[in-house]
Amino acid sequence: METKDKINDFLIAARLKIGEISELIKNNARFGKDVQKWVMDITDLRLFIMAVESPFNDWDELDMLKRIDYVSSRFNLYKPVNYDIDWLARFRPVKTLLKEPEITMDYIYKNVSAKNLIYEPGENAKWGSGELYINEALDFMMGKITMESDFLRYKVTNQDILNLPNQEMEIISHPSQGYITQVSELFVVLNAGTTLFNDTTLRLYFENQGDILHIFDLNSAENQYFIAVPGVGFSALKLSVLPGEENPVNGTGTLDIYYKYRYVKLASDNIPI
């Protein structure tokens, strides 16, 4: 999604949220409840809207995205995103499932309860009963559907990079037991003030069981970000550094790695049903 689309969505969602919170205030204030928190929430939302929509804000693209992300997640501005696959929005509650290296039916029955299946109380509850979610978890187990992670960010600190000549750094690691982990989206942002690349190259690469699959070299301060072509199956995403001849890594600066990945169940696997 382009930044301007994200801004559009944000401004609409934030305004709707103000309306929503004002309803809460109305409903609670009449019974004498303390509504100060909500009043301040609206104040914050109003400030953020004002800053985002103004032509005079001096935020760069990264700042804009970061800040919109913050406000969006703090106020839960968006309903679950539909990534062209209907199941995803409904599948979010079983996020804990995604992080388990081994998914078994036992695991599903132990961990997937009606309580954490419902994304949000209230209007979204109608999406389905716990049983429905379990059916979808089963669909994943059967290889019929794919699951996608939320957007995640990995912050690489300056100290991390200074340590890199001697070691590689693992950004994502998946043992891939019974399913393939694929890149869904990936981009890297070199934060302002980064001077790491005078004579060195930062190398970001995907590995699958020890084999290097795709390499992305960041060797210019002008490379603000790049986007990987999705669909690379991998077991780890790693960062290393190739020091230059003259200049060891001695710059300052940090990187943010934003990524999203999805699981694809191996169809041939034995499924313990």
- Summarize as ranges the residues that interact with another protein (CB under 8 A): 40, 43-44, 47-48, 50-51, 54-59, 63, 66-67, 70-71, 74
Nearer to another protein, 70 or 109 (CB): 70
Q: What are phi and psi of 43, to 5 degrees?
A: -60, -45
Q: What are phi and psi of 29, to 5 degrees?
A: -65, -30
Q: Phi-psi region for residue 138, left (φ > 0), alpha (ψ -120 to 50) or beta?
A: alpha
CB atoms near residue 12 (< 10 Å): 11
Nearer to another protein, 79 or 155 (CB): 155
Give kind and range of the element (H or E) at residue 169.
Answer: strand 169-173
CB of 160 to another protein, least distance (A): 18
CB of 78 to another protein, least distance (A): 17
CB of 57 to another protein, least distance (A): 4
Q: What does the block give as tokens for 263? A: 């699981």
Q: Is the dihedral of CA 267, 268, 272, 273 positive or negative?
A: positive
CB of 173 to another protein, least distance (A): 25
CB of 38 to another protein, least distance (A): 13
CB of 67 within 8 A of CB of 50? no
How many CA atoms within 13 Å lie on the side-chain side of 110?
8
Closest by CA position to 171, among listed 186, 193, 184, 149: 186
CB of 68 to another protein, least distance (A): 8
Nearer to another protein, 17 or 265 (CB): 17
Q: What does the block give as tokens for 72? A: 């969006």
Nearer to another protein, 1 or 50 (CB): 50
CB of 66 within 8 A of CB of 48? no
Q: Which residue has the tokens 């929509």?
A: 53
Nearer to another protein, 42 or 108 (CB): 42
CB of 46 to another protein, least distance (A): 9
Nearer to another protein, 19 or 55 (CB): 55
Nearer to another protein, 3 or 250 (CB): 3
